[in-house]
Structure 1
Amino acid sequence: MDHLSIFSFLLALHLSISGVISTTFTFVNKCDYTVWPGILSNAGVPTLPTTGFVLQTGETTTVAAPASWGGRFWGRTLCSQDTDGKFSCVTGDCGSGKVECSGNGATPPATLAEFTLDGSGGLDFFDVSLVDGYNVPMLVAPQGGSGDNCTTTGCISDLNGACPSELRVMSVDGKDGVACKSACEAFNSPEYCCSGAYGTPDTCKPSTYSQLFKNACPRAYSYAYDDKTSTFTCANAVDYTITFCSSPTTSQKSTQGQDTKQESSSNSASPQLNNDNTMVYEGGIDQSEISKAMCTHVLLLQSQTIACIISITMVLWRLCQLL
């Protein structure tokens, strides 16, 4: 057998094995408005099957991720398509002009969920970050994982209404706040951006603005070096359920995603804090949704395993033909 045939065999075998799915991400929209999740994979890791999609109120979508995947998710809101077919969003827009973000990240401000699967010590690392600002409530709940720090995190408080005027992003008609900037984006100051002389954990400290985020969402990143209370780890989690608005929120609405009309309501989801300053999450994930996510993961594993076996069998058959 020549060198090219050997290389082809090894490459096919590698791709078959590396294609086995390790984790799923289940997206749930409990907002009473449409959300368009965006996805950006880290450099050097495989991309996911989609980089952006629509999630109507009450919908659930599951996306499978390969082993050692890393990247971020966010929710885009108040999206529409113009007469030329260009797609854009008032918050969280990725600038691709399409529903798929295709390698583009979120335009701040945007609530981010960040993941590194199978990282140091074989653990998954994840967090919800408000470092780039806030636009939509988000909750991340690991399913089937273990570890002392394997727990739910996120920001379920609606910060748009409570956002200081100097950080507030207004709706197109100027009537309502639809997102809340970080102090770094608003003022571009090294003190707020943890840059220059403030580029170390010793010199960059929480600001009055980051404390507003932290008080409302104690488990979410509020500034660049907010690691101790905001990074979480799990071993062997089968799924991470990412819920937008863990209970119905009416702070912003869009009819079928094409209407940029804003409304405010006192029914927005809000966190409660107990005495040790940890967030009590109410209206989180239904057990039926957890079961659905886990079953979906098992089915995906089975289908991927069968596909892997078939691929290896075909490669071995091809190898025999060459010999």
Structure 2
Amino acid sequence: MALLQVVLAISLWSTIAFADVVFEIVNREPGPVWVGIQGNPGHAHLRGGGFNLNQGQSTSVNAPDNWAGRFWPRTWCDSNSKHCLTGDCGNRLECNGAGGNPPATLLEITLKGDAGKDFYDISLVDGFNIRGSIQPIGGVGDGSRYSCRPAACFADVNGGCPNELRVNHNGMVIACQSACNKFRNSEYCCTGSHSTPQTCPPSRYSNYFKGQCPDAYSYAYDDRKSTFTCKSNRYRIQFGG
């Protein structure tokens, strides 16, 4: 009897240890969004790396409980050419390991990181195309401001985007570029002689992004308070809001 209990306990532990984490992905935009998914090196590109969600649609994506990677929205996509005006990953629906072409709002997560905690954030380092959020459903945290709470950017970033950073289409601003992607210099990209936090302070452009979405990363050396932590087996990723 004791042996059977040990076997059952080991079986239960194995089930928990290797249980999937579920990402619920929701589209709250007034039009279709092509979701891009890229695993970090050594991690799978879930669901082939991409799929389409029409307005109001949602789907669930399973991931190993030690997965790490990013999600991003692709917008203004053509179903024939498979080309998207923002976030494009090479004229394909399934990105299969290819990253998104900036500007694009990034939702990043590392499951079972340091001390077994999940780390997640929203990043505007590569610019912004549409609003987004990532939040644990349930989960265990320490009660602090950045524990088990949504990382979100729901501001109208495109509406106030500086003119020189705007991506326009049919008379509308469909995305807001980062200064690094736009100007390609060390001052904004924090490279070369500006490769340290001391030599690469926030610029007026990164301050714009930070002012719109305080909990999001705005440039390479943004403060580390933009990283959230939790322990959960379910996360909701929402585009639009």
How far is 1:45 from its partner? 1.8
Match of 2:233 among 225, 235, 238: 238
Match of 2:214 among 214, 218, 242: 218
5+ unaligned residues in a row in structure 1: which ranges?
A: 1-15, 247-323
How far is 1:161 from its partner? 1.7
What CA RMSD, in Å, does the superposition of the two structures yield over aligned residues? 1.7
Match of 1:142 among 136, 140, 149: 136
For residues 183 and 88 of structure 1, what CA distance do their matches in structure 2 show?
24
Structure with the bigger percentage of strand: 2
Q: State the aligned residue count.
A: 224
Residue aligned with 1:201, SS: coil
Residue aligned with 2:48, SS: coil
Assess, with a 3 A threshold, how the Cα gap between structure 1 residues 61 and 184 changes in structure 2: closer, same or farther.
Answer: same
Confirm or deny: 8 A CA contact 2:216 2:226 kept in the other structure. yes
How far is 1:202 from its partner? 2.1
How far is 1:196 from its partner? 1.0
Confirm or deny: 8 A CA contact 1:167 1:182 kept in the other structure. yes
TM-score, length of structure 2 as denominator length: 0.88
For residues 72 and 45 of structure 2, what CA distance do their matches in structure 1 show?
16
Structure 2 partner of 1:298: none
How far is 1:111 from its partner? 0.2
For residues 101 and 118 of structure 1, what CA distance do their matches in structure 2 show?
25
For residues 120 and 55 of structure 1, what CA distance do their matches in structure 2 show?
33
1:56 and 2:51 matched: no
For residues 128 and 205 of structure 1, what CA distance do their matches in structure 2 show?
20
Match of 1:108 among 85, 102, 105: 102
Residue aligned with 1:209, SS: helix
1:167 and 2:165 matched: yes
Match of 1:47 among 20, 23, 45: 45
| Corresponding letter in the other structure for 1:139 | S
Confirm or deny: 8 A CA contact 1:190 1:197 kept in the other structure. yes
1:185 and 2:173 matched: no
Structure 2 partner of 1:22: 20
CA deviations on 1:68-122 (whole Å, 9 max, x unpaired) are: 111100000010034xxx3110111011x22101110000000000111101110
| Corresponding letter in the other structure for 2:202 | P
How far is 1:18 from its partner? 11
5+ unaligned residues in a row in structure 2: which ranges?
A: 1-13
When Rg is computed on C-alpha atoms for both structures, the one with the higher figure is 1
| Corresponding letter in the other structure for 1:98 | R
How far is 1:19 from its partner? 10
For residues 119 and 42 of structure 2, what CA distance do their matches in structure 1 show?
17
TM-score, length of structure 1 as denominator length: 0.66
How far is 1:203 from its partner? 1.9
Confirm or deny: 8 A CA contact 2:74 2:84 kept in the other structure. yes
How far is 1:199 from its partner? 1.1
For residues 55 and 153 of structure 1, what CA distance do their matches in structure 2 show?
21
Residue aligned with 1:102, SS: coil
How far is 1:241 from its partner? 0.5
How far is 1:17 from its partner? 7.7
Assess, with a 3 A threshold, how the Cα gap between structure 1 residues 49 and 103 changes in structure 2: closer, same or farther.
Answer: same
